[in-house]
Amino acid sequence: MAERKIDGGCQCGAVRYSLAGEPLMAAICHCTLCRRAHAAPAVAWAIYKDDQVSFTQGQPKLYASSADAQRGFCERCGTQISFTASFLPGLIDITVGSLDDPQQITPTLHYWHSEHLPWVRFADDLPRYPDLPPFE
Ligand SMILES: [Zn+2]
Ligand SMILES: [Zn+2]
């Protein structure tokens, strides 16, 4: 069976990427850092191994949003694209919202739910973890 390829990119098209195969996990983060970085109530992420992700046009500009982590975004239009961290070696989170077809990935849990906004209620029965989810 051919490996699935998923394409995505920023709003202006300066940064484009291609994802090979399935994410290790897809989840919705409610943490305050994601909220501020994206100016959004919650953020959906899909996590991949480095070698599954190729930037086919441009590169995200990196911002150290904390001592351990970097957020990648398009320096032209501001779209948030990626998250990498020293505590996630060899892995890269990609924003589900920047996929050309975000319906291709379905989150399976919520994390940092202890920081969720009280008016943010997702109509699902997925697990809600107060901080980081169990991972590998
Ligand atoms: Zn852009
Ligand atoms: Zn977060």
Considering the domain delimited by 5-115, tell me its CATH architecture: Beta Complex (2.170)
Counting ligands in written order, which one lies closest to the CA of residue 33? 2
pLDDT the model gives residue 3: 85
Specify whether the CB–CB gap between 41 and 47 falls below 8 A: no
Interval between CA 9 and ligand 1 midpoint (Å): 8
Counting ligands in written order, which one lies closest to the CA of residue 58? 1
Interval between CA 123 and ligand 2 midpoint (Å): 20
Counting ligands in written order, which one lies closest to the CA of residue 30? 2
Q: What confidence tens digit (pLDDT) does each residue in 21-43 have?
A: 999 999 999 999 999 999 999 99
Interval between CA 1 and ligand 2 midpoint (Å): 34
Counting ligands in written order, which one lies closest to the CA of residue 85? 2
Asked whether residue 123 carries a pLDDT value surpassing 90, the answer given is yes
Going by DSSP bridges, is the β-strand pair 25-29/61-66 parallel, antiparallel, or unpaired?
A: unpaired
CB atoms within 10 A of CB 52: 20
Backbone torsions φ then ψ of 28, nearest 5 degrees: -105, 125
Q: What is the mean pLDDT of the chain?
A: 96
Asked whether residue 1 carries a pLDDT value surpassing 70, the answer given is no
Interval between CA 134 and ligand 1 midpoint (Å): 33
Q: How confident is the model at residue 8 (pLDDT cuts 50, 70, 90)?
A: very high
Q: Position of tokens 């319906």? A: 103
In the chain, what percentage of residues exceed pLDDT 70? 99
Nearest Cα neighbor of 52 from 91, 106, 99, 98 is 91
Q: What confidence tens digit (pLDDT) does each residue in 47-87 have?
A: 999 999 999 999 999 999 999 999 999 999 999 999 999 99
Interval between CA 32 and ligand 2 midpoint (Å): 7
